[in-house]
Amino acid sequence: MANTDVVVTNEGIAGAILLLRGQRVILDADLAALYGVTAKALLQAVKRNIARFPSDFMFQLDNQEVARLRSQIVTSKSRGGRRYAPYAFTEQGVAMLSSVLRSPRAVLVNVEIMRTFVRLRQMLGSNAELARKLAALESKYDAQFKVVFDAIRELMAPAPKRARPVGFAPWEPKK
């Protein structure tokens, strides 16, 4: 019996969406966790229905992509973990999973994933529209408003991630 009591949040789904090969995808392990199954069971269901998953719905990561993910997620290379490269599912691949996984939880999770993909697309579209409108306004007005436009562009840009220093700071000499 499937567990449908677990709540799946949009933030959890949005955090699982990655940008690989120019497409927004979710990895098989993240999908399995959302659906409440093992990655092995999810991939077995997919492989039993492989004709439903062409290369634009699902693809396996290459060694460079795996290495980049491994460095971002900080997983072990030698012990434990996966013995094969993970699969990435595009939005269409996730939609196709609804025909393969038929549990009540899978249906609920699939609906939320589709809603999250739509919200993400809307947010990206509205940000692009805002940037276009700002460029039009900037070309219309003269240089006296350049400072204002620069400030707005700075606010629109994502905040830079600052790396935390590694190690301890040396002791300061006593005065």
For domain 10-124, give the CATH number. Answer: 3.10.260
Q: Where are the domains positioned within the chain? A: 10-124
Long-range (24+ apart) CB contacts under 8 A made by 119-124 are: 119/10, 119/14, 120/14, 120/17, 120/24
pTM of the model: 0.58
Beta-carbon contacts of residue 53 (< 8 Å; ≥ 6 apart): 46, 93, 96
10 Å CB burial of residue 108 (0-12, 13-18, 19+) is middle
| Alpha-carbon gap, residue 130 to 159, rounded angstroms | 18
Q: For the chain, give the number of residues.
A: 175
Q: What DSSP line would sit under 66-80, residue for residue?
A: HHHHHHHHT--SSSS
Spell out the per-residue pLDDT of the chain, length 175, in tens. 444 445 566 677 777 888 888 888 889 988 888 888 888 989 999 999 999 899 899 999 988 888 887 766 655 555 556 778 899 998 888 888 877 887 777 777 877 887 887 777 777 677 777 777 777 766 666 655 666 667 777 777 666 666 665 555 565 555 5
In this structure, the number of other CB atoms found within 10 A of the CB of residue 147 comes to: 9
